[in-house]
């Protein structure tokens, strides 16, 4: 790792650095190199501190500070190989700021970032970035009769009755279906859940299967599933946990997910489907169970095993899946593993409800790192600008990336 600039080290030991600078220095210190240089920086930073009342034997003198430094180096942070996530105890003397941070390993260097952006960001821009909040639980439910319900505004409890089913919103904000037996079942009745940009939602389908929709996604499904098959249609990105179901003949009822480019057949499994129209490939990532894909492009069939991912474009390509990365959004994070800037910006655009502009020559720069989806836009702006080779501007709700 490249040694951080000396001025950052001095600010760090004075307890005056920015959070993202702090994490950068902590990673550097964890490498346990440049001992003489580090001690010299500590001494210089100590001299730069304002007047201190340290005349007592237990006062925070330089020698004591040095001893504390060496003692705490035994519990420095470690950087494991999985996605650059920070685990373990943190190395921080008493004067260090207490702040949680996310890690970003960049193609051109290493930077560790928190929700605060670069200190050189103009105050007006920073305020605007902080004001743009992340997405939240919001969606619109379209019922079989064409009426719509805003799920973010609906109160908990029963929100609709249709086709012998009650549609309820739980205390956790999830939508579930409950049989009432008060009406005759009509075939062909469908519901649809759609999330806007900046929204996500979790729903339990009438058969007990769970679906979680990412931003700018939709899922259409029958109010009552049939005896021969269960079939839904989706756009965007949806995470599924499929419940096993059997018919009156005790045979399992297969579950089908239909997208523009593929049909996915499952029996009982956990998987994620990314089928955004602005992506080059539709991705199906299998966590457990088994699925069979039929490509609508060439009518070919592909069977996936747990831990595999299928990319459907002009053909079908199967490769090992990075489960933590593919399902990071379900767990409330952005996780990037050598991911192109263009792909990252599209995810940011959907989650923060923004437009983005990025030259083609910059869109292929790859990043590896992690940041929480619960943080304001400023965290992501800091993330993509951290190399110093990319300039990021925010004009109204439009991110503009330049060299």
Domain closes at, from 321, 344, 365: 321
Q: Is 289 left (phi over 0), alpha (psi -120 to 50) or beta?
A: left
pTM comes to 0.69
Give me the pLDDT at residue 87, please. Answer: 31
Tokens 């519901």 locate to: 191
Q: Examine residue 117 and state whether it is found in any structural domain, yes or no.
A: no
User: Do 302 and 196 share a structural domain?
Assistant: no
Q: Examine residue 42 and state whether it is found in any structural domain, yes or no.
A: yes
User: Do 245 and 187 share a structural domain?
Assistant: yes
User: Do 12 and 71 share a structural domain?
Assistant: yes
Q: Examine residue 248 and state whether it is found in any structural domain, yes or no.
A: yes
Q: Examine residue 140 and state whether it is found in any structural domain, yes or no.
A: yes
Rounded distance, CA 231 to CA 34, Å? 61
Give me the pLDDT at residue 122, please. Answer: 55
Structure tokens at 361: 């020559």
Domain closes at, from 288, 321, 354: 321
User: Do 307 and 219 share a structural domain?
Assistant: no
Q: Examine residue 123 and state whether it is found in any structural domain, yes or no.
A: no
Give me the pLDDT at residue 106, please. Answer: 28
User: Do 243 and 144 share a structural domain?
Assistant: yes
How far is CA 102 from each of CA 28, 36, 86, 111, 383, rounded to the nearest angstrom?
15, 29, 7, 10, 9
User: Do 385 and 337 share a structural domain?
Assistant: yes
User: Do 351 and 315 share a structural domain?
Assistant: no
Residue 130's H or E segment, with its range, is helix 123-131
User: Do 341 and 314 share a structural domain?
Assistant: no
Each residue's pLDDT tens digit in the chain (403 positions)?
Answer: 557 777 777 777 776 666 556 666 766 776 666 777 888 887 777 776 654 444 444 444 566 656 655 554 444 333 333 333 333 323 333 222 222 222 222 222 223 332 233 334 555 555 665 578 899 999 999 999 899 999 999 999 999 988 778 899 998 889 999 887 655 556 678 999 999 999 999 999 999 999 999 999 999 999 989 889 999 999 999 999 999 888 888 888 999 999 999 999 997 799 999 999 999 999 999 999 999 999 988 889 999 999 999 999 888 999 999 898 999 999 898 988 888 999 999 999 999 999 999 999 999 988 877 788 988 888 777 777 766 678 888 888 899 999 8
3-state secondary structure 337-383: EEEEHHHHHHHHHHHHCCEEECCHHHHCCEEEEEEECCCCHHHHHHH
**Residues with Cβ within 8 Å of residue 377, at least 6 apart in sequence:** 129, 130, 132, 133, 134, 348, 352, 354, 394
Q: Is the dihedral of CA 318, 367, 213, 372 positive or negative?
A: positive
Domain closes at, from 203, 236, 253: 253
DSSP string, 53-88: ---STTS--HHHHHHHHHHHGGG--B--SSTT--BS
403 close to 139: Cβ distance less than 8 angstroms: no
DSSP string, 303-339: EE-TTEEEEESSSEEEEE--HHHHTTTTTTEEEEEEE
- For residue 268, the tally of other CB atoms under 10 A from its CB is 16
**Residues with Cβ within 8 Å of residue 47, at least 6 apart in sequence:** none
Structure tokens at 157: 């409890």
Give me the pLDDT at residue 226, please. Answer: 87
Give me the pLDDT at residue 205, please. Answer: 94
Beta strands (DSSP E) in 77-206 are: 102-106, 109-113, 136-137, 140-142, 148-150, 157-162, 165-169, 175-179, 190-194, 199-204
Rounded distance, CA 134 to CA 267, Å? 35
CATH of the domain at 379: 3.55.50.30
Give me the pLDDT at residue 274, please. Answer: 97
User: Do 374 and 278 share a structural domain?
Assistant: no
Q: Examine residue 14 and state whether it is found in any structural domain, yes or no.
A: yes
Q: Examine residue 65 and state whether it is found in any structural domain, yes or no.
A: yes
User: Do 270 and 229 share a structural domain?
Assistant: no
Give me the pLDDT at residue 347, please. Answer: 96
Q: Domain tally for the chain?
A: 4
Give me the pLDDT at residue 78, please. Answer: 33
Q: Examine residue 347 and state whether it is found in any structural domain, yes or no.
A: yes
Q: 201 is in which domain, residue-wise? A: 136-253
Rounded distance, CA 320 to CA 317, Å? 10
User: Do 213 and 144 share a structural domain?
Assistant: yes
Termini Cα distance of the chain: 24
72 close to 92: Cβ distance less than 8 angstroms: yes
CATH of the domain at 227: 2.60.120
User: Do 381 and 300 share a structural domain?
Assistant: no
């Amino acid at each position: 790792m490249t040694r951080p600039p000396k001025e950052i080290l001095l600010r760090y030991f004075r307890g005056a650095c920015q959070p993202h600078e702090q994490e950068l220095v902590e990673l550097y210190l964890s490498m346990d190199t440049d001992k003489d240089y580090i001690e010299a920086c500590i001494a210089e930073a100590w001299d730069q501190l304002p007047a201190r009342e340290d005349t007592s034997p237990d006062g925070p003198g330089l020698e004591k500070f040095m001893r504390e430094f060496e003692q705490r180096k035994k519990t420095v942070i470690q950087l494991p190989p999985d996605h650059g996530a920070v685990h373990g105890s943190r190395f921080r003397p008493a004067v260090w700021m207490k702040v949680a941070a996310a890690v970003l390993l960049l193609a051109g260097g290493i930077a560790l970032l928190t929700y605060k952006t670069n200190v050189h960001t103009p105050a007006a821009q920073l305020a605007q970035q902080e004001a743009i909040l992340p997405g939240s639980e919001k969606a619109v439910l379209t019922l079989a009769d064409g009426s719509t319900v805003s799920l973010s505004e609906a109160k908990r409890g029963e929100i609709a009755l249709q086709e012998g089913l009650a549609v309820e919103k739980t205390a956790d904000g999830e939508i579930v279906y409950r049989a009432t037996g008060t009406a005759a079942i009509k075939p062909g009745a469908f519901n649809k859940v759609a999330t806007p940009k900046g929204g996500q939602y979790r729903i339990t389908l009438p058969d007990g299967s769970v679906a979680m929709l990412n931003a700018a996604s939709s899922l259409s499904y029958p109010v009552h599933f049939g005896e021969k098959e269960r079939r839904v249609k989706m756009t965007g990105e949806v995470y599924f946990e499929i419940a096993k179901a059997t018919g009156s003949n005790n045979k399992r009822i297969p579950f089908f997910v239909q997208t523009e480019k593929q049909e996915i057949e499952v029996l009982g499994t956990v998987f994620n489907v990314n089928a955004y129209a602005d992506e080059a490939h539709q991705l199906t990532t299998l966590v457990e169970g088994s699925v069979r894909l039929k490509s609508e492009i060439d009518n070919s069939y592909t069977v996936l095993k747990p831990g595999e991912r299928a990319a459907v474009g002009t053909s079908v390509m199967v490769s090992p899946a990075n489960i933590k990365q593919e399902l990071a959004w379900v767990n409330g994070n952005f996780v990037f593993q050598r991911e192109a800037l263009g792909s990252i910006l599209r995810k940011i655009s959907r989650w923060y409800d923004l437009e983005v502009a990025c030259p083609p020559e910059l869109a292929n720069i790859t990043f590896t790192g992690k940041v929480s989806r619960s943080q304001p836009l400023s965290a992501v702006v800091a993330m993509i600008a951290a190399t110093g080779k990319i300039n990021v501007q925010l004009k109204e709700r439009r991110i503009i990336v330049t060299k």
